[in-house]
Every structure is written in structure tokens, then in C-alpha cells.
């Protein structure tokens, strides 16, 4: 199970960036993201309509339509029933619109079932009837396998200041009783995520029912991405979460 999960984990990390790759943009004047464009993007993704999707995208900061199709197809090869849910989020203080994305999917391998749930929050710009640029401001994916979908709580901030120390905890919600779980956490580079490389995670016995880590943010703005693997007698859970690092709020 561990080998299969490691092979699938980078696809879970890349499930949402299959829609739009990681990059940062500078805010500028733009039309608010329209409901029509949101629905059209969702329909094109769920209908596997490559031509329709490309017609809704315009190359710009953080958005490369040419590389999008290969990522969508790579995701579908692993999670053939992948489904996207898109919705408008609240506008940001700088006037940009936000786009909320949820991806779910499943995969069967060697008699085992793998279930994916991923969420992403984007700051976006629209040019005419096309999505023209974006910035990822929140991202999390959870990949489960085993007898049951173990519920976990990810307790970590979406945004921290440069140099700030913060806690990153992933806790199994149900009492452990006599069960023993193993787990580990590792930082994942942007290059590994972009190239769908599986992170190497060292596992150890966990006595507290989860992973508890205190982290110091880098001194330059950007982001940190973390991958966690928890192995429980009734199931296995892998979690990825991006934390934004900003110089001021």
C-alpha cells in the first residue's frame, strides 16, 4: 500500500495545479470574474473538452494554456472519474476576484481504493470572456486509502509573515484506543510539485495521534508546501498544504 500511495501522491499534489500552475501576479484593474466564465470552465473540465477549455483561457501571468492540457490528462489517467467544482469566492482587499476549486476522484489498484479530495483558492483576473492570470493563495489535498476514510484535521495557517514561527499539525480525529500510527512530514519544493515528483517521507511511530511541527517561515515572501503521510491500521492518509509567506498583511 505504501508504494502505491507514494506513486499516487504527486498526482494528488498536482491535482489542482492541473488547472492552473503556481505563479504570482501583480494586481491591476480587471473585470470581476463572471459566473458565466466559472460555469463554462467547470463544464469544460468535467466534460474533458480540451478545445472548449483552451477557448476560455488566455496566456498571462501564472497561466499557460499550452501546459494545461497535459496536466489535465495526466490527472485523468490516474483519477479517471475526477470531477471539478468551481465557484466564486469573496473579492480580495486589492480588488481581485477569487476562484474556489474543489477536485474529487478515485483510483483502483491491486484491489485497493484511493480517494482524492483537493481544494484551491485562486486570485484571478478576467479579460473579456477569458481567464487571463491567477495567483494561488490557498491549496490543500488529501489522498486516502484503506478500510475507511479516516478523518483528519489540518491545523495550519493559510498565510504567515516572513520569518514568523508557526505550528503545522495534522491530527487523526477519532481516538486511537490501542492503535499505533506511523507518520512523517517533509517540505515539498515547487519544482517537485511542478514535475509531479513523489516526496521522500521518513516514517516514525506517533504517540500523539498525529503530526505536530513548529516551523519558521523563510525571510523572503513566497510560499511553503508541506506533505504529511499518516499510516493507521484502518487506513492511510496523505495530506499536502501550501502556506503563503508574505512581507505584510
As averages over each run of 10 residues, the pLDDT of the chain (249 residues) reads 47 46 42 89 93 90 78 84 94 88 91 90 90 89 88 94 97 83 91 76 87 96 93 90 90
What pTM did the predictor assign? 0.84
Give the pLDDT of residue 27.
45
3-state SS class at 132? strand
Phi/psi at 111 (nearest 5 deg)?
A: 80, 5
Q: Which residue has the cell 517533509?
A: 186
* Domains defined along the chain, listed by start: 2-246 (2.60.40.10)
Classify residue 16 by its DSSP letter.
T
Positive or negative, the CA dihedral 184, 188, 194, 197 is negative
CA distance 80 to 4: 16
Amino acid at each position: 500500500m505504501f508504494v502505491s500511495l507514494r506513486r499516487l501522491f504527486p498526482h494528488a499534489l498536482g491535482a489542482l495545479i492541473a488547472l492552473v500552475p503556481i505563479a504570482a501576479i501583480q494586481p491591476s484593474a480587471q473585470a470581476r470574474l463572471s459566473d458565466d466564465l466559472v460555469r463554462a470552465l467547470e463544464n469544460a473540465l468535467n466534460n474533458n473538452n480540451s478545445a472548449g477549455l483552451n477557448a476560455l483561457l488566455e496566456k498571462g501571468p501564472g497561466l499557460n494554456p499550452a501546459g494545461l492540457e497535459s496536466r489535465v490528462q495526466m490527472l485523468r489517467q490516474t483519477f479517471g472519474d475526477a470531477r471539478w467544482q468551481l465557484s466564486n469566492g469573496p473579492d480580495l482587499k486589492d480588488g481581485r476576484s477569487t476562484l474556489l476549486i474543489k477536485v474529487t476522484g478515485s483510483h483502483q489498484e491491486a484491489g485497493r481504493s484511493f480517494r482524492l479530495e483537493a481544494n484551491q483558492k485562486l486570485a484571478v483576473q478576467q479579460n473579456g470572456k477569458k481567464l487571463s492570470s491567477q495567483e494561488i493563495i490557498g491549496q490543500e489535498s488529501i489522498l486516502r486509502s484503506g478500510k475507511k476514510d479516516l478523518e483528519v484535521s489540518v491545523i495550519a495557517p493559510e498565510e504567515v509573515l516572513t520569518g514568523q514561527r508557526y505550528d503545522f499539525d495534522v491530527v487523526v480525529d477519532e481516538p486511537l484506543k490501542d492503535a499505533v500510527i506511523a507518520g512523517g512530514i517533509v517540505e515539498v519544493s515547487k519544482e517537485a510539485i511542478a514535475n509531479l515528483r513523489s516526496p521522500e517521507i521518513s516514517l516514525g511511530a506517533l504517540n500523539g495521534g498525529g503530526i505536530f511541527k513548529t516551523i519558521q517561515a523563510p525571510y523572503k515572501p513566497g510560499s511553503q508546501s508541506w506533505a504529511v503521510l499518516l499510516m493507521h491500521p484502518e487506513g492511510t492518509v496523505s495530506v499536502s498544504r501550501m502556506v503563503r509567506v508574505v512581507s505584510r498583511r
